Structure 1
Amino acid sequence: MSLRHAVLAALLEGEASGYELAKRFDVSVAEFWSATPQQLYRDLDRLEADGLVNARVVEQRRRPNKRVFSLTNAGLAELHAFTAEPARPPAIRDELMVKVQAADVGDAEALRGTVAARLARSREKLARYDRMRDKLLDGRAEDDYLRENDRIGPYLTLMAGRRYEQANIDWSESTLKALEHRRATPSRPDS
């Protein structure tokens, strides 16, 4: 997948300037596809050149004019074709997993601290996702939201993010317990 598809998907929320899109990207799409603002602006220019987005200039008082972007029919068709393609399986590239793999010869205290930091970060993200979910549902039951809302993609990706962070929490907690047990139980040399 290229960044272009993530940008097109983010524009499904409606017209946005590059700045607004970067903020929107940080709140939703960035959880599963990251990009710098410079990358977003570069891709917006390419998408416009390819006819997948339209740009218009909005004049502003006391600020520089801004360009706002919206999807074209060709952009929607590109997203439609993209969703029809099979997705490649994700590849996990996680530095922490390499450190844990080497736990038996590494700095145990530093490793515990790194796992504890992952746990804290995942708890914070899960709490943020829960707030986002509550805002999306706005007091409705999930089934009602999914049946009544025009767009369910943001909710479904949010739920994937929640499950991912919950899995990180579960793994981190059990890893910390195992490391603590290992510290409390001295290893015995082989007989």
Structure 2
Amino acid sequence: MSLKYAVLAALLEGEASGYELSKLFDVSLANFWPATPQQLYRELERLAQDGLVEARTVQQERRPTKRMFTLTETGRAQLRDFSAAPPRRPTAVRDELLIKIQAMDGGDPRVTRALIEERRGWARGKLDRYERVRERLLGGHTEEEYLRTADRIGPYLTLLAGIGFEEENLRWCERALAVLGRRVPLG
């Protein structure tokens, strides 16, 4: 899958500048499809050239002019077609830390522990951020109310996947640290 569909899906939230889209990616899509701001700006330009998004210029006082992007009907149609098609292949995990863990035997166990502790910290941080996003989405409603009445539930369902992923990261980190703690004396 290309970044194209992730950008189109993000624009379902409404009109956004490249900067706003970058922030939206950080809190909603980055848990499963990360992109740098530069990648997003390039993709927005391609999508505009292809007629999938429309751009308008907004003059601002004391700030540079910005471009605001919205989905076109053609963009919405392509996104509908994309979302109805089955994925081309199952999810594959590509994780540098896991390669390092695979190769850890014979190395310094303190380094391995530090790498896992760092991952645990990242997972906790992401979980905290996802929980803030979750509370904002729910807006004081229960999850059941929200899922029954919200206009769009896709962002919430993908957020739940991100929460589950980071919870599993935490579980793995705790287990790996416990295993290492039993195998190697600390100190």
- Same fold, judged at TM 0.5 (above): yes
Per the alignment, residue 45 of structure 1 pairs with: 45
Determine whether 1:18 maps to 2:7: no
Alpha-carbon distance between aligned partners in 2 of 1:62 and 1:121, rounded to the nearest angstrom: 37
Other structure's SS at 1:56 match:
strand
The percent of aligned pairs where both chains have the same amino acid is 58
Residue 103 of structure 1 and its aligned partner are, at CA, apart by 2.8
Please list, as runs of the form range in 1=range in 2, the aligned pairs for 1:90-105 lying within 5 A after superposition.
90-105=91-106
- Counterpart in 2 of 1:65? 65
* Conserved 8 A contact 2:138-2:146: yes
8 A Cα contact 2:27 2:133, kept in partner: no
Number of the residue aligned with 1:136: 137
Structure 1 alignment gaps of length 5 or more: 185-191
Mapping 1:126-165, distance limit 5 Å: 126-165=127-166
Q: CA deviation at 1:17?
A: 1.0
Shift of 1:64: 2.2
Distance 1:125 1:26 in 2: 10
Q: Which amino acid letter does the alignment assign opposite residue 26 of structure 2?
A: D
Number of the residue aligned with 2:80? 80
- 1:189 aligned residue: none
- Once the two structures are superposed, residues 82-134 of structure 1 have per-residue CA deviations (whole angstroms, 9 ceiling, x without a partner) of 11121121111111111222232222110000001111111111111112111
- Counterpart position of 2:179: 178
Alpha-carbon offset, residue 139 of structure 1: 2.2
How far residue 135 of structure 1 moved from its aligned partner, in angstroms, is: 1.6
SS across alignment from 1:100: helix
* Whole-angstrom distance in 2 between the partners of 1:20 and 1:98: 35
1: CA distance, partners of 2:70 / 2:148: 26
Match of residue 110 from structure 2:
109
Determine the C-alpha separation between the residues in 1 that align with 2:15 and 2:4. Answer: 16
Residue pair 2:27, 2:130 contacting (<8 A) in 1 also: no
- Give, in angstroms, the shift of residue 6 of structure 1: 0.6
Report the Cα distance in structure 2 between the residues aligned to 1:124 and 1:66, rounded to whole angstroms.
31
Helix, strand or coil at the partner of 1:54: strand
What is the CA–CA distance in structure 2 between the aligned matches of 1:64 and 1:101, rounded to whole Å?
A: 49
Q: Distance in 2 between matches of 1:164 and 1:72?
A: 33
SS of structure 1 residue aligned to 2:62: coil
The alignment of Structure 1 onto Structure 2 pairs a total of residues equal to: 185
Partner Cα distance (1:151, 1:81) in 2: 18
Q: Which runs of 4+ in 1 moved over 3 A?
A: none
| Corresponding position of 1:187 | none
C-alpha contact (below 8 Å) 2:17/2:67 kept by paired residues: yes
Which one scores higher on RCO, CA 8 angstroms, separation ≥ 6?
Answer: 2
When Rg is computed on C-alpha atoms for both structures, the one with the higher figure is 1
Contact in 1 for aligned 2:5/2:79 (Cα 8 Å): yes
- 1:166-187 Cα shifts (integer Å, max 9, x gaps): 0000000000000010014xxx
Give CA deviations for 1:55-102 in whole Å, capped at 9, x if unaligned.
111121222221110000000011101111211211111111112222
